[in-house]
Each structure stands twice: as structure tokens, then as C-alpha cells.
Amino acid sequence: MSEEKEVEEAIVGSFNEPTDQHEEKDASRSVFSVKNLLWHGGSVYDAWFSCASNQVAQVLLTLPYSFSQMGMLSGIILQIFYGVLGSWTAYLVSVLYIEYRSRKEKENVSFKNHVIQWFEVLDGLLGPYWKAVGLAFNCTFLLFGTVIQLIACASNIYYINDKLDKRTWTYIFGACCATTVFIPSFHNYRIWSFLGLGMTTYTAWYLTIASFIHGQVEGVTHQGPTKLVLYFTGATNILYTFGGHAVTVEIMHAMWKPQKFKYIYLLATLYVFTLTIPSATVVYWAFGDQLLDHSNAFSLLPRSMWRDAAVVLMLIHQFITFGFACTPLYFVWEKVVGIHDTKSICLRAACRLPVVIPIWFLAIIFPFFGPINSAVGSLLVSFTVYIIPALAHMLTYKSASARRNAAEKPPFFLPSWTAVYAVNAFIVIWVFIVGFGLGGWASMTNFIRQVDTFGLFAKCYQCPPTPSSKHH
């Protein structure tokens, strides 16, 4: 057994060390170094903050709306179910990353100035067709994710300042979010991840306490679920909630010891449950079926200093989430144009701008993020987050030799390969039928029903009419 352990340590030992010279210098410095403290993170705690902060942003405000569509019991059960499923597939992604990296390390491949991404893992383990699939799904998912963040920023700020229309706010926030081109990699999100999680924690508990103090509205009703379309639209939003996997590999690569990532996503999800379940439950308890016409929970709570603070904090958090979702796109673009290994921050920032500008324009052209959100969830998240990792894991370890030489053995709570295969097969079948099939049908039906309310380049989508525009 000791010999086997030595071999295993030899495989992963080569990437136990920090992955570039800057990290080696920072690791040897005093922990009280300001730059090290605020800027250069690669610990287990940094990864946990990144995962937890990245999981919940605007969706915190739309989960009460999902509860009104599907009822409280279904909402709570599906949150826990998809949270556990998401944690399992994040674990699979981490296993495949370590497998890919250990194989490459044996071939003496250096990743000193190279960030490994999910599509490269798929390419190395399963070939170019899987690379193309991974790249297409991830990039499309991240593109829509960043567009949604920009639209959500404009929608939220409008609750505290309606002197400017939402389109103008989108222009302003697009310019602000463009500054993320200067953040080199996920190493440098240490302070942002920490602040981001603090912001969502405040907002979640503000929603919970403010709704409880407000009490139930007069004649409150809790009829959900009433229609299958609404039920599966709500379920798709919850499926989307635990879908931060598009950046999982990049977060892992930013760690000094990536093999420690295994259970971080699960621990992050457990914390996120303490934010999403109480807030969605209490807001739905207070406002009931009124939420069916108010997809953003802020719109039902009375204006106050506390609400304005929550709106501002969510805006800052959405800027951080924009950076999280856009950074993998920056990396892909850098690799396409051939400047990924440069150390010049200014050169990389200049090359990254062509990624931000189309996102900015898309947010201005399509300002209706609610229906798009559920469509993205069913058509993209179902594959990116659940189906592709489970299938990739099954195919990577289909041969006896691959299982025997695996860099990571099955987890202690599921020690047989057969059990792992059974869980993966269940995830693929369940998510394909319920998430992609029924969720896709519901979200597209919802999209078509609302399509006549959409307006390209809308100046102020779903804004209440101003006094001057009222005729009575």
C-alpha cells in the first residue's frame, strides 16, 4: 500500500506547488503582505468563496417567483435535489481535471502561464469532438450569463433611481463591467469573492427579515402549482441556480493544490442553502401569488434604506459575477489570438475588449432577461452543468485500465465504480427528460407567450407607466 501511495503522490505532487513564479514568491512572503492578502488567492478558502459567491446572484431575487410557480414544498425539495446533483457533477469535473492534468504532467507539459479550461480537459481525455461540444455549450452559456447580469443591473438600479431609463443604465453598467478586462485571472478575485458573498448574505437576510416584518398581505393566496408550464419553468430556474460549473475548472486551476477542491462545491452549496431557502420561503409566505406577476422580489417590498442598501450591494455583486462569467471567455479569446501566455496586463486588457463589446450590445438589444433566463437554464445549463460532466466521466473510465490507473478513485461514500456509473446514468436520464425536455418545453412556451411584449432596443422594458404617460 505504501508503494501505491508513493506513486499517487508522484502523480499529483508535481502540481502541489504554486503554478507560476509569482505564486512561489507570494507563498514565501509574509501572510500580512497587502498584495498577497487582497489580490493573490489560491487557497481552499479562496476557492470556497469563489464557488459560493458565484452560485447566487440575481437568482436570489427570482427564487420567490419560482416558489409561486411550483409551490413551497416543491421549491424546497428541488433546491436540495439540484444542489446535491450540482455538487456531484462539480466533483466529477474536478476528478476529470486532475486526471487530465496528471496525464499531461507525466508528458512533462508545463502550465506555468497557461490556464486549463474545461474544453481542454474534454479534448485531452475524449478527443476533438468533445472539445467542440464543451466549448460551444460553455461559451454560449457564459455569454448569455454575462448578458443577463448586465440587464439585471439596469433592472435593479431602476428600483432606486428611475430618473434614467433602463437602457441608459445598461450603457453605464456596460462601461463599468468593461473594467473586468484588467483582472488577470481567478487568483485575483480573492477580495471580490469575499465581498460578493457578504453582499448576497445581506440581501438574502434582508429579504427574509423584511418579508417577515411586513407580514402576509391581505387576502394572500398560495395556489401553486396550478399549471404544468409554470411548474417546469420554476423548476428550470432552480436547475439554473446551482449551475456555476462553467467556471469550475478555472477556479480549480487558480488553487495552489487543486486536488483539494473535491468537496468545496458541496460545502459552498450547503452555505447557499442557508441564503436561498429561508428568503424564498418567507417572501412567498408573505406575498403568495402576487409573485406570479413580480419576478423580482425587490418590487414587492416597500422602499426603505435597507432595501436601497440591498439593491446597491446586489449591483456590486453583479459586477463581480459579470467578471466571473466573462473571465473564461477572455481566456478562450486570448488563446484564439495567441496572447494567452503574455504577462502584460495592458496587452491582455486591450485584446479582451472585443469580448465585452458584443455582450454590451446584446444587453441593449434584448433587455428582457426573465424568459431568456429559463430558456438558458433548460437548453444550456442542463447539458453544461449536468449531462456533459456525467457522460464525460463515464466515457473516461469505461476501460478497466483507465479505472485501475485513475488519478482519483471513487469517493469514500460511493466506493464502487458501478455505483458511480449508476449515479451518473441517473443524472443524464433525469436531467435530459425533466431539465432539457420538460423544462425546454415550458420555457419555450413561456417565451412564445411573452414574445409580443418584447421590444428590441426597448428603452425601458416592463417599466411602470410614468404619470405623464397615463391618460387617466
pLDDT, tens only, 223-246:
878 889 889 888 888 888 887 777
Task: State the average pLDDT over residues 58-80.
Answer: 90
> Is the predicted pLDDT of residue 261 greater than 60, yes or no?
yes
The DSSP-derived string for 170-238 is HHHHHHHHGGGGG--SGGGGHHHHHHHHHHHHHHHHHHHHHHHHH-PPTT--------HHHHHHHHHHH
Fold of the CATH domain 41-108+125-452: Hydantoin permease (1.10.4160)
Average pLDDT, the chain: 83
Task: State the average pLDDT over residues 329-356.
Answer: 87
Residue pair 377/236 in contact by the 8 Å Cβ criterion: yes
Task: State the average pLDDT over residues 23-39.
Answer: 48
Residue 40 has φ and ψ, to the nearest 5°, of -115, 85
Q: Output the pLDDT for position 18.
A: 42
Q: Output the pLDDT for position 258.
A: 87
Compute the distance between CA of residue 420 and CA of residue 314 in angstroms, rounded to an integer: 38
Task: State the average pLDDT over residues 142-150.
Answer: 85
Q: Which distant-in-sequence residues (6+ apart) come within 8 Å of 251 by Cβ? A: 47, 50, 51, 54, 186, 261
Which cell goes with 396? 473516461
- Give 8's pLDDT tier (boundaries 50, 70, 90): very low
Residue pair 173/154 in contact by the 8 Å Cβ criterion: yes
> Is the predicted pLDDT of residue 161 greater than 60, yes or no?
yes
Residue 129: count of CB within 10 angstroms of its CB = 10
More confident residue, 194 or 185: 194
Compute the distance between CA of residue 115 and CA of residue 254 in angstroms, rounded to an integer: 8
Could you tell me the CA-to-CA distances from 412 to 9, 262, 372, 399, 425 in Å, in that order?
Answer: 18, 12, 40, 21, 19
Q: Which distant-in-sequence residues (6+ apart) come within 8 Å of 111 by Cβ? A: 15, 19, 101, 104, 253
- Give 28's pLDDT tier (boundaries 50, 70, 90): very low
Which range, 136-140, 217-221, 275-279, is most confident? 275-279
Compute the distance between CA of residue 142 and CA of residue 4 in angstroms, rounded to an integer: 40
Q: Where are the alpha helices (DSSP H) in 338-398?
A: 345-365, 369-376, 388-396
- Give 60's pLDDT tier (boundaries 50, 70, 90): confident
Cα diameter, the chain: 84
- Give 208's pLDDT tier (boundaries 50, 70, 90): very high
Compute the distance between CA of residue 382 and CA of residue 434 in angstroms, rounded to an integer: 9
Residue 153 has φ and ψ, to the nearest 5°, of -60, -50
> Is the predicted pLDDT of residue 364 greater than 70, yes or no?
yes
Q: Output the pLDDT for position 402.
A: 92
- Residue reference for cell 445581506: 202
**Angle at CA 148, nearest 5°, toward 38 and 438?**
125
**Given CA atoms 448, 450, 453, 455 in this order, what sign does their dihedral have?**
negative
Buried b / exposed e along 339-367 (16+ C-beta atoms within 10 A): ebeeeeeeebbebbeebbeebbebbbebb
Compute the distance between CA of residue 163 and CA of residue 67 in angstroms, rounded to an integer: 32
> Is the predicted pLDDT of residue 321 greater than 80, yes or no?
yes
Compute the distance between CA of residue 10 and CA of residue 102 in angstroms, rounded to an integer: 9
Q: What percent of the chain has pLDDT over 70?
A: 85
- Give 371's pLDDT tier (boundaries 50, 70, 90): low
> Is the predicted pLDDT of residue 269 greater than 90, yes or no?
yes
> Is the predicted pLDDT of residue 30 greater than 60, yes or no?
no
- Give 32's pLDDT tier (boundaries 50, 70, 90): very low
Dihedral, 204, 205, 207, 208 alpha carbons, nearest 10? 120
pLDDT in tens, 407-419: 889 998 888 999 9
> Is the predicted pLDDT of residue 34 greater than 80, yes or no?
no
Task: State the average pLDDT over residues 399-405.
Answer: 92
Q: Which amino acid is at 8?
A: E
> Is the predicted pLDDT of residue 37 greater than 90, yes or no?
no
Task: State the average pLDDT over residues 90-113.
Answer: 89
